Amino acid sequence: SEMCIRDSKNFVRNLSEKLNEWTWNRWVITLAKEKGQKTYSEIFGETLSKLAEEDEKIIVMGEDVAAYGGAYGATKDLLKLFGPKRIIDTPISEAAIVGASMGAALTGLRPIAELMYVDFFGMSMDQIANQLAKVRYMFGGQINAPMILRAQGGTGRSAGAQHSQSLETWIMHTPGLYLSIPYTPNDAYHLLRAALKINNPTIFIEHKLLYNTSGILDKNNPDQIFGKAQIRKKGKDLSIISYSR
């Protein structure tokens, strides 16, 4: 009976947290719209939709990216728009997601794959570091793997130790991979589009706490150019260098 009471309390607490999060998300989106802005998550969803509309070679695949719309809503409604042949829910196997995406890229498609959390890189590191990163060099530049591998990183959402790490340095120290970690919604739009133009695999890491941040989207003027640092504020006494959140 004591266990049942404890489980009931945990259930109520978790339900309350989910309802509060849902209410907060709706409030943030409403406030952003009133200011003429869009949230980070909205920008991702709209950009992915537009990219898939522009290029039939683009497919999206990963755990819960189709029917559920992604863990943070970034792929919401894509299944309705493009169907199950292009928006693909995969089994719970990170190695299979990366390996299948790489194979699709080698045959001419442009996959946008998603690992639900960057922490799961460990279970697919052979595919990422030994296969995906090296395929162009193993074939002397005759074949490329033009794909994006998305993942959510960082802490701040009480997700537990195995869902809260920042592992981008693994990618930075792996030759053959590009890495992008956008900060603003405008960054997310332009860097995602830029990543698809690169005929090399790009790892795209999104901080969890940025999904509900909002900002102005300027499709013609990127805040940040792929591969170059953006000066947010000019000064003469001190340099502070950072990225993402």
What SS3 string covers the chain? CHHHHHHHHHHHHHHHHHHHHHHHHHHHHHHHHHCCCEEHHHHHHHHHHHHHHHCCCEEEEECCCCCCCCCCCCCCCHHHHHCCCCEEECCCCHHHHHHHHHHHHHCCCEEEEEECCHHHHHHHHHHHHHHHCCHHHHCCCCCCCCCEEEEEECCCCCCCHHHCCCCHHHHHCCCCCEEECCCCHHHHHHHHHHHHHCCCCEEEEEEHHHCCCEECCCCCCCCCCCCCCCCCCCCCCCCCCCCCC
Q: Which of 42, 63, 94, 168 is catalytic?
A: 94
Angle, nearest 10°, between helix axes 40-54 and 185-197? 30
- Decide if 94 is catalytic: yes
Q: Which of 163, 168, 190, 206 is catalytic?
A: 163
Q: Which residues are catalytic?
A: 94, 163
